[in-house]
Amino acid sequence: MKNEIPKSVLASYDIGNVRSIKGITDGLVHKTFKLKTQKGTFILQQLHPLLAHEAIAEDFLSVTRYLESQKFLTARAVLSRSGDMLVKESTRVWRMQTYVPGKIYHRLSQPTLAREAGSLFAKFHRTLAPIAYSFQTPLVWFQTRRYYETLLSTLKSFEHSALLEGVQEEASFLQKHLPKQFMPQRLRTRVIHADPKISNFIFNSKGKAVAIIDLDLVQRGYLPLDLGDAFRSWCGREEDDPRNCFNLNLFRAAFIGYQREAKGFITKQELQLIPRGIGAVLLELSARFLIDYFQDTYFGWDSSRYESRRDHNLARCRGQIAEFKDLQKKLPAIKKIMGLS
């Protein structure tokens, strides 16, 4: 494991002797390592080329410093000896941050944890709302319309490929249903996390949510989509589960937790758009997985369970569609929980 990290990268940081290195395989994009050193425990990441950008690094630094000033717990950026956010070595780019101790869940099963996550997520949104910072990231997240157009162009590019033969049903479903999930174009923007999966929430030993991590993509965007991403991931099964479904008990707890902390913050329009936001993110992700099924370039994949990235991406695509179908059946119950019916 240590051999995967060049000595020159480790020497770039003032962390003392490295005592142990452990690979963390949770993420789909970066290569992540937990380092125990003479001066503490740190997280070192080899960044995906699309995210190894100075502007994203500057956003990360500004957001983490702002949250720290507001006493909102998260990982802090660790600068190199030369004061840089990014360390470049050959064709690879690295970034270090502090380690936040606690419990990480990869799947929610307890409503009490869902309520805790919802409450902390609302505090996160409220805390960052006043930040006077112009985000520099070139990666604008939750672009449902753009991914729809990319899907159409990708399908056209591969219309004579054998790859298309086994995914006609998924392609047709997305072409029919994805445009129905678009957000109103004049919806106000907020500061959003953009990747609020439950494994980015840290819990203490008593089950209280205490920190939110993985702030690469914090930017301004639509609140119903940030919440949609949270609820679709918290309330669903594994992304690639062909029996994926939407858990109403977990949603009820998560929504109550969020709503209690967001009173006076979230608008009536944003509240009403949450169910559509869940559907939008489910199908946007499904489209992205299908796009990468063809392009085979972006998402990480589990080689212990799949023969190829394409196989894993197709399973993810189908899993998100399965959850979307179940979500549609449960929309009346969801709206009742939210007080919208």
Q: pLDDT tens for residues 147-193?
A: 999 999 999 999 999 999 999 999 999 999 999 999 998 899 999 99
Q: pTM for the complete prediction?
A: 0.92
Answer yes or no: is pLDDT of 13 > 70: yes
Phi, psi dihedrals of residue 203, rounded to the nearest 5°: -115, 150
* Helices vs. strands in the chain: H and E counts, helices first: 11, 10
| Nearest Cα to Cα of residue 57 among 141, 139, 131, 143 | 139
Q: In the chain, which ranges are E strands?
A: 18-24, 31-37, 40-46, 77-78, 87-89, 92-98, 190-192, 201-203, 209-212, 219-221
Structure tokens at 145: 């319309």
Contacts of the segment 324-332: beta carbons below 8 A, 24+ positions apart: 324/177, 324/279, 324/282, 324/283, 324/286, 326/244, 326/245, 326/246, 327/232, 327/246, 327/275, 327/278, 327/279, 327/282, 328/279, 330/246, 330/248, 331/275
Residues 226/142, Cβ–Cβ less than 8 Å: yes
Longest dimension (CA), the chain: 60
Q: Rounded to a whole number, what is the distance in angstroms from the first to the last CA of the chain?
A: 54
pLDDT in tens, 291-316: 999 999 988 899 999 999 999 999 99
pLDDT at residue 268, rounded to an integer: 95
SS3 21: strand
The number of residues in the chain equals 341
Mean pLDDT of all residues in 92-98: 96
Q: How confident is the model at residue 43 (pLDDT cuts 50, 70, 90)?
A: very high
Alpha helices in 163-308 (DSSP H): 168-177, 223-234, 248-262, 268-272, 274-295
pLDDT in tens, 224-257: 999 999 999 999 999 999 999 999 999 999 999 9
Answer yes or no: is pLDDT of 1 > 80: no
Answer yes or no: is pLDDT of 29 > 70: no
| Helix, strand, coil in percent for the chain, rounding step 5 | 50, 15, 40
Buried b (16+ CB within 10 A) or exposed e, 43-58: bbbbbbeebbbeebbb
Mean pLDDT for the chain overall: 95
pLDDT at residue 22, rounded to an integer: 93
Residues 33/6, Cβ–Cβ less than 8 Å: no
Answer yes or no: is pLDDT of 26 > 70: no
All structural domains of the chain: 2-98 (3.30.200.20), 111-338 (3.90.1200.10)
pLDDT at residue 165, rounded to an integer: 92
SS3 103: strand
